[in-house]
Amino acid sequence: MQESILSQGFDLLLYGMATVFVFLTILVAVTTLMSAILLRIAPQKNIAPPQPKFVTTPPVAGAVDAQLTAVITAAVHQYRNKKR
């Protein structure tokens, strides 16, 4: 009796894994086919990325922005005044 339950469980395991494998294989095939069909119907156009309106230089390592420091200081000051 015990052996038949184990063999039934093993059979169920194989059927389940085979079903999932077949389903995923079909899913990948259909997705690839749909992609190929769409690329044939409406091919992608080479679109250049938009050019930035202005060029910024990267900040120097260790340099602190004065405006950023003022904004942070004002925010901390406002937060501390609300706590009182």
Q: Coil, strand or helix: which one is 43? A: coil
> Who contacts 59 (Cβ-Cβ below 8 Å, separation ≥6)?
65
Per-residue pLDDT of the chain (84 residues; tens, 9 = 90+): 567 998 999 999 999 999 999 999 999 999 999 999 998 888 777 777 777 777 766 666 667 778 888 999 999 999 999 877
Domain boundaries, the chain: 1-42
Per-residue model confidence (pLDDT) at position 44:
76
pLDDT for 58: 67
Residue type, 42: A
**Do 4 and 12 touch, CB atoms closer than 8 A?**
no
Q: Give Cα 55 distance to the centre of its chain.
A: 29
- The pLDDT, as a whole number, for residue 45 is 78
